[in-house]
Amino acid sequence: MSESHRKIKSFALRCGRMTGGQAAAYESMLPTYGIDFVKQAIDLKALFGNDNPVVLEIGFGMGASLAIQAANNPDQNFIGVEVHTPGVGALLARMKEAEVTNIRIISHDAVEVFEHMIVDNSLHRVQLFFPDPWHKRKHHKRRIVKSEFIQEIRAKLTDEGVFHMATDWEDYAKHMLKEMLAEKGWHNQSQDNSYVPKPEYRPVTKFQKRGEKLGHGVWDLLFQKEQFQKDIVNGEAKDV
């Protein structure tokens, strides 16, 4: 298959060794809290055993933020999607230490997970915290926040569900804001139509604190799903 016909990945698969604790948690807990990728929609109520709101985080890294959120919000369910195996092991170790049980993990490409496994109108919130900014111009095509995926996320959100993004790269923040404002069916929660203060539910991780010590800024974007307005054309309702 030629390069032009390969699906462009929004992530770089990074290999790394797990610590002993991460490896032990991976072996003992993944069978319970891991979800195999299949081209079949998940029954979220059956998966969690309740109908609590579901939050999905794309690329949870080493899992610090997701573990804290799940521990602080036992009345919500969380799905973490991450391709980095040591990160999966790290999150499972954090879950074991904090006795967190309201997280499920999918170790697969998020684009395909949304396409095949997530039912429309099922997610309370989608989170994308500190994604790879692909800062070189020749790599911008790999950025995950672009029109097709934005509307894929919108389809999976419940009515008035939200898409929360955060980055410490100003150029990527501007890119995400531009892409989101160009799409129909979204309401920016910012008062000046730009960025929002960090919501209380997003923890400040060691990664963010380290960046702030180095003088990095952090930008949060919060967009709420809106229903498309309907226009009647030739007797049929059309999205406008």
Q: What's 149's domain CATH number? A: 3.40.50.150
pLDDT digits (tens, 9 = 90+) for 137-160: 553 465 798 999 999 999 999 999
Pick 140 or 61 by higher pLDDT: 61
Res 240 pLDDT > 90? no
* 49 occurs within a structural domain: yes
Number of domains comprising the chain: 1
* 144 occurs within a structural domain: yes
Domain enclosing residue 103, as ranges:
21-239
For 163-170, what is the mean pLDDT?
94
pTM of this structure: 0.87
219-225 and 123-129 as β-strands: parallel, antiparallel, unpaired? unpaired
pLDDT digits (tens, 9 = 90+) for 220-236: 999 999 986 655 555 56
* 16 occurs within a structural domain: no
Q: For position 234, what pLDDT does the model report? A: 59
Instruction: Report the distance separating Cα 25 and Cα 59, nearest Å.
Output: 19
Non-local CB neighbours of 103 within 8 Å, separated by 6+ positions: 33, 66, 67, 70, 77, 78, 79, 80, 91, 95
Non-local CB neighbours of 234 within 8 Å, separated by 6+ positions: none
* 2 occurs within a structural domain: no
Residue 176: band (very low, low, confident or very high) from pLDDT cuts 50, 70, 90: very high
Q: For position 137, what pLDDT does the model report? A: 58
- Of the candidates 22, 82, 33, 40, the one whose C-alpha atom is nearest the C-alpha of residue 57 is 82
Q: Is 239 a catalytic residue?
A: no
Q: For position 11, what pLDDT does the model report? A: 44
- Of the candidates 10, 12, 119, the one whose C-alpha atom is nearest the C-alpha of residue 56 is 119
Q: For position 1, what pLDDT does the model report? A: 40
* 155 occurs within a structural domain: yes
* 226 occurs within a structural domain: yes
* 218 occurs within a structural domain: yes
* 61 occurs within a structural domain: yes
Q: For position 3, what pLDDT does the model report? A: 38
Non-local CB neighbours of 178 within 8 Å, separated by 6+ positions: none
Q: For position 132, what pLDDT does the model report? A: 76
| Poorest-pLDDT segment among 81-85, 164-168, 225-229 | 225-229
Residue 162: band (very low, low, confident or very high) from pLDDT cuts 50, 70, 90: very high
Q: What is the 3-state secondary structure (H, E, C) of the chain?
A: CCHHHCCCCCCCCCCCCCCHHHHHHHHHHHHHHECCCCCCCCCHHHHHCCCCCEEEEECCCCCHHHHHHHHHCCCCEEEEECCCHHHHHHHHHHHHHHCCCCEEEECCCHHHHHHHCCCCCCEEEEEEECCCCCCCHHHHHHCCCCHHHHHHHHHHEEEEEEEEEEECCHHHHHHHHHHHHCCCCEEECCCCCCCECCCCCCCCCHHHHHHHHCCCCCEEEEEEECCCCEEEECCEEEEC
Q: Select which of 43, 120, 132, 231 is catalytic.
A: 132
